[in-house]
Amino acid sequence: MDPRELRNAFGQFATGVTVVTCVNAEGQPHGATVNAFTAVSLDPPLAQVTLARNSKACEFLKDKPFAINVLAADQLDVAWHFAGRPAEQAPAWLEGPTAPVLDRTATTISCRPWRTYDGGDHLIVIGEVEQVQIPGRDPLLFHGGAFRHLSPLETGVHWDGSIDNPDHGWFDATATFTPLARSAAVPSPA
């Protein structure tokens, strides 16, 4: 398999952009931009990130707590900062329940270490989710080798006249329903 072709194929899957944060050997906050994030399980609550084996974060995550910071649409500079292109002004850190977290993200998922698996040239790190914070900001996206943002899907169809309008729901609390009349039993063929 040609690695470039495989990378292009993987790049057709739109993802969010995360920064995995932890503390380094000196106890200072450290982060790495990662777009390989997956929700794993609700019971137990598990989340997964996949990091290149040669990243510094891999050594800092070994049996250590971490946080998955889902970047907001206006945090492109933060994504680049933790991908190796430091910003003029460093991103703002906050104290998190398990590890340092970034300010103004779309979501933060704080984890305790659960399992680490071999993933070829990457490590698959699964954390048990201890706490989440959901500020309600739109996420930063990545697709086809470029950063993107959410926008409404333009279908050319206006929903307001439809009973299937997702903005209004199908039925309100005052809706009542009349049961269908039972039909007479149909005799079975002899």
pLDDT for 147 equals 86
Q: What is the pLDDT of residue 101?
A: 98
Which has the higher per-residue pLDDT, 123 or 14?
Answer: 123
Average confidence (pLDDT) over 52-73: 90
Q: Spell out the domains of the chain, with CATH numbers in brackets.
A: 3-148 (2.30.110.10)
Average per-residue pLDDT for the chain: 85
Looking at per-residue pLDDT, the higher value among 171 and 135 belongs to 135
Q: Both tokens of residue 69?
A: 């910071």
Give which of 20, 24, 77 is closest to 49, Cα–Cα: 20
